[in-house]
Amino acid sequence: MEKIKMTTPLVEMDGDEMTRILWQYIKDDLILPYVDLKTEYYDLGLKHGDETDDQVTIDSANATLKYGVAVKCATITPNADRVKEYDLKEMYKSPNGTIRAILDGTVFRAPIKVNGIEPNVKSWKKPITLARHAYGDVYKNSEMKIDGPGKAELVFTGADGKEVRQTIFDFAGPGIIQGQYNTDASIESFAKCCFEYALSTKQELWFGAKDTISKKYDARFRDIFNETFEKEYKEKFEKAGITYFYTLIDDAVARVMKSEGGFIWACKNYDGDVMSDMVSSACGSLALMTSVLVSPKGVYEYEAAHGTVQRHYYKHLKGEETSTNPVATIFAWSGAFRKRGEFDNNQALMDFADRLEKATLSTIESGYMTKDLVHLTTMKDIHTLNTEDFIKKIAENM
């Protein structure tokens, strides 16, 4: 069989621990036999990151800007323990944070639907993709504990020195206050990422905020979304046959629980933090959750939503058998191939992405799975496989 040709390389970001092991298995058994793989390889594993003083992370993000599509393996975000374990020169920032700062994007997460592993919410027939605005609000707040009576004020001093002042509260006793901010630029970039991703996946877009109570702050989010939509996306959405709608966050939650799924749900930072955990746990497993960073600059970085699965890696190092689920990492590759194919007009590569996903899902649906899925499934005749055998089984189905 002739291998599928690629015209433009994918940016390949290798990572750490158990997911680094999965990475190699996936390439060897599921990709290299079929694709004449072209990648620009960046080793974001912690050891190599340290050797390059984290420059490799920055280089990989810049390569993503150049080529447009990246696929990333999970990586360790160093903490004090990791600095000791890997004898690091310093406690580097999270690679994902560094990459996101360069690409300026929004992360979209969606559960992978498998027949036989049903979400806890019965009406959800299709995946719900959650988009979280990962900037500002309560995550960049300034807080104060107030010890006794006094007046709290909101003060803005313009660059010209002019002051605007507003009373927050006249305290009669102790209490608390908090200041939050966001910027028009960040909200607009978030809105654009959401509209672009809705178009790229042909799904409806919902956005919810609390503009009835927060008549300036949340209303600004609503207005920027509406203005951006009217100005740049209305016609494109009509052409694609999809819709955008804004509603109150509480109404959005109620609708989501009664919906069939199959749409993108855009959330403010805090709402997205909370709601993504709700959607993912209702769908069963982090190992069945995909994640893609979409930049307003039109570039895409695909990965799994889970981490490096450290506990399994230590077992692997001791020579013990592991049963680590590679599905989200396989879907990171298929997502990247599909997008690369779309950009390059490479139908064979897009078809390969479909085949890879289908082979993976049908393997599980025929009863062969990793341990984490066994307690989630309603299927009867189940075969629990170890990490390598599960990938081999998918290869057989390919």
Q: Which stretch binds Mg ion (CB under 5 A): 3-11, 97-105, 271-279, 338-346?
A: 271-279
Which entry of ligand NAP, Mg ion, none binds 259, CB below 5 to 8 A by partner kind?
Answer: none
As measured in angstroms, the least distance from the Cβ of 170 to ligand NAP is: 44
Considering only residues 32 to 71 of the shown chain, the ones binding Mg ion according to CB under 5 A are none
Which entry of Mg ion, ligand NAP, none binds 130, CB below 5 to 8 A by partner kind?
Answer: none
Answer for which of 40, 104, 273, 344 binds Mg ion (CB under 5 A) is 273
Which entry of ligand NAP, Mg ion, none binds 349, CB below 5 to 8 A by partner kind?
Answer: none
Question: Whole-angstrom Cα distance, residue 248 to residue 198?
Answer: 20
Closest Cα partner for 152 from 130, 183, 128, 179?
179
Q: Which residue is nearest to ligand NAP (CB)?
A: 307
Q: Which residue lies nearer to ligand NAP by CB, 135 or 331?
A: 331
Residues facing residue 175 across a β-bridge: 146
Q: Which residue is nearest to Mg ion (CB)?
A: 273
By CB under 5 A, residue 223 contacts Mg ion: no
Which entry of Mg ion, ligand NAP, none binds 194, CB below 5 to 8 A by partner kind?
Answer: none
As measured in angstroms, the least distance from the Cβ of 229 to ligand NAP is: 30
As measured in angstroms, the least distance from the Cβ of 333 to ligand NAP is: 14
Q: Which residues bind ligand NAP (CB under 6 A)?
A: 74-77, 96, 286-287, 303, 306-311, 324-325, 372
As measured in angstroms, the least distance from the Cβ of 280 to Mg ion is: 10
As measured in angstroms, the least distance from the Cβ of 286 to ligand NAP is: 5
As measured in angstroms, the least distance from the Cβ of 171 to ligand NAP is: 41
As measured in angstroms, the least distance from the Cβ of 291 to Mg ion is: 13
Q: Which stretch binds Mg ion (CB under 5 A): 57-65, 266-274, 293-301, 358-366?
A: 266-274
Q: Summarize as ranges the residues that interact with Mg ion (CB under 5 A).
A: 273
